[in-house]
Amino acid sequence: MSRWARARTGARGFTLVEMMVVLTILGLLATAVSVYMRPQRSVMDCANVVANLVREGARRAFAKGPVRSDVAATGIRQRTRVTIAGDVITLEELVERVALGLADWVPIKSVRVVTADQQATLAGWKPVAQVDDGTSGNAPAIDADFTGFQIDCWPDGRCDAGTVYFTGPNGTSARTIILPLGGAVMARRGF
């Protein structure tokens, strides 16, 4: 027996089970690190998400142009809409069918603004654009009922006015302000 063969018979490698256990442990550690190292969503991030969805809705409404007259006769004249239901915000677009007077709302994008880390909470909304910071005596009368909150965007690129409020830990707050001026939208800190 050669010296190489004798050394080889005494050597022992890792078994498949041992390798799988080590890889599983490394995978769990990598997952834990990625969860704890990711940035937390702030109230300002949530306000920016809503603002971006409304801007996209205004852009799509303008690009699609006027609603067909037979569909408009049914009372639908808006081209896109942003709806808020709980902490989910959805951008929908009106898709007209070939048949006369028929159209469907098709979801384009849906975003959950309040994540599991609870760094931000959807505090409420109101159907007017609150640009001032509340020092003018126009205190934010926030409506916390999200069942019917909808922002319509029209073919000329403007959207319905509104303000969406977010609160976070340690008294932080932010809002998305939708101005009825050609789809102008902004996100600001504070109420």
Per-residue confidence (pLDDT) for residue 26, from 0 to 100: 92
Say which DSSP state 96 is in. Answer: E
Residues 144-182: tens digit of each pLDDT: 665 667 889 989 888 888 888 888 877 888 888 998 876
Residues 17-58: tens digit of each pLDDT: 989 999 999 999 888 887 676 656 678 888 888 899 998 999
DSSP result, 6-61: HHHHH-----HHHHHHHHHHHHHHHHHHHHHHSPPPPHHHHHHHHHHHHHHHHHHH
Confidence bin at 92 (pLDDT 50/70/90): very high
Nearest 5 degrees, angle CA 63-CA 65-CA 71?
135
Per-residue confidence (pLDDT) for residue 185, from 0 to 100: 86
Q: Which two tokens stand for residue 96?
A: 């007209």
Name the region of 46 (left: φ>0; alpha: ψ -120 to 50; beta: rest).
Answer: alpha
Per-residue confidence (pLDDT) for residue 8, from 0 to 100: 57
Per-residue confidence (pLDDT) for residue 137, from 0 to 100: 53
Per-residue confidence (pLDDT) for residue 21, from 0 to 100: 93
Alpha helices in 65-89 (DSSP H): 69-72
Q: What mean pLDDT, rounded, does the chain reach?
A: 80
Per-residue confidence (pLDDT) for residue 1, from 0 to 100: 53
Per-residue confidence (pLDDT) for residue 22, from 0 to 100: 92
Residues 94-110: tens digit of each pLDDT: 888 877 778 888 998 88
